[in-house]
Structure 1
């Protein structure tokens, strides 16, 4: 049986469409491999054995590249969605001193529980804070952080 280039292109598209129904995100790469074989066999006449080897190698290469190289780069490195305990000990910079209500504003370089700026109150055992000082999270009081000056 001879596989023409358009057979590979159709197979690749069918595999890519089938990915919609599967949560694994792997059929897409086998479809991409089939499309790659379709393009190569359009440019060069290849035997069925060579086409199958190219499909296997490109499909596995695409799959490994996705799971080992690209997917980890797309991971959410923020601490959004994690418990409040993970925020204890994080360090931010004071961007607004406490006002009359006793609350200031601190900014973190990495979002903390989904936000990079938080209201804060100064812990009782803390040294006074100035604008631009670094403050460490000691505890939570509702949606307000209790911070202390970083020593």
Structure 2
């Protein structure tokens, strides 16, 4: 009876490829780890062909959980968009940056943020305050494609 339920390495690989390909339709980036674990089970079964079916399923489950936990704990936080791109004007109000080119007469200045804000690290600025290169300023409003800032 055990020979009827014996899985071959290619069974695991095909199962894994199906799971990985299903990720293309579902796009949760979660099923991918179950598919990778299944493919690894197929490779492992090449080297250890006498593993019992229950052991195979247990190892696949453990690998799947480990990969999923590693994804959520270590890899997913690296892919979080910290630019605030696409957020409203309120997302930029109060942000602090450094003047890299001071405004002069009708010419706008340039401000650089330490982390890109709304997708950009450098912005054109307008100010009523007297600011020089290197001064730190706070965003108080948005006027068109320029930021209105005040000296800190």
TM more than 0.5: yes
Post-superposition CA distance 1:124-149 (Å, at most 9, x none): xx3x2111111111111121111111
Post-superposition CA distance 1:96-122 (Å, at most 9, x none): 111331421111111122111111111
Q: Match for residue 63 of structure 2?
A: 58
The equivalences for 1:1-12 within 5 A come to 1-12=5-16
Separation (CA, whole Å) in 2 of partners of 1:107 and 1:117 = 4
1:96 aligns with 2:98: no
Q: Match for residue 147 of structure 2?
A: 145
Separation (CA, whole Å) in 1 of partners of 2:125 and 2:29 = 42
Q: Match for residue 67 of structure 1?
A: 72
1:48 aligns with 2:44: no
Look up the SS of the partner of 2:11 in the other structure.
helix
Look up the SS of the partner of 1:79 in the other structure.
coil
Q: Match for residue 27 of structure 2?
A: 23
Look up the SS of the partner of 2:36 in the other structure.
helix
Q: How far is 1:92 from its partner?
A: 1.0
The more displaced of 100-109 and 87-96 is: 100-109
Alignment coverage as a number of residue pairs: 147
1:86 aligns with 2:91: yes
CA RMSD of the aligned region, Å? Answer: 1.4
Task: Give the unaligned 5+ runs of structure 2.
Answer: none
